[in-house]
Amino acid sequence: MAKSYQDLVKEAKSQTEQTDAEAVHAALDSGENVTIVDVREPAEWDESHIAGAQPIPRGLLEYQAADKLPDKNARIVVHCALGGRGALAAQSLKEMGYENVANMDGGVKGWREKGYETE
């Protein structure tokens, strides 16, 4: 049976760690070493993004991961606009051997709704 985008996202969310904007903001505030990966498209990144985030568009993630994310044990939090692409990205990274990856559910929209700054 063919899966829809929603089916794939639901499956990815069930198989990967999910976090939220509050937890990520708290980790960054505490000085925790967290790599934020923004998997949105370049035009979305240009509109606004989380300070210090690393842009790796979803379509290039698997191709660029080894160069841009060399430490497979580092804490990585991926996000997109709402959480769907981020969940799929987290699942891909997990399948590529990244050990400590989470998806920020709610994405940058959730981040802004909490009143956290973007640039």
Q: Give CA–CA dist 39/34, Å, rounded.
A: 16
pLDDT at position 2 is 95
The 10s digit of each residue's pLDDT in 88-98 is 999 999 999 99
Ranges of residues in the chain whose predicted pLDDT is under 50: none
If one counts every other C-beta atom within 10 angstroms of the C-beta of residue 106, the result is 22
The 10s digit of each residue's pLDDT in 53-66 is 999 999 999 999 99
The third-level CATH classification (topology) of the domain covering 18-113 is Oxidized Rhodanese; domain 1 (3.40.250)
The answer to whether 62 and 81 are in contact (CB under 8 A) is no
Treating both helix axes as pointing N-terminal to C-terminal, what angle do 61-68 and 84-95 enclose, rounded to 10 degrees? Answer: 60
pTM comes to: 0.95
Domain coordinates in residue numbering, the chain: 18-113
pLDDT at position 1 is 87
Q: Which residues is 103 bridged to in the sheet?
A: 18, 78
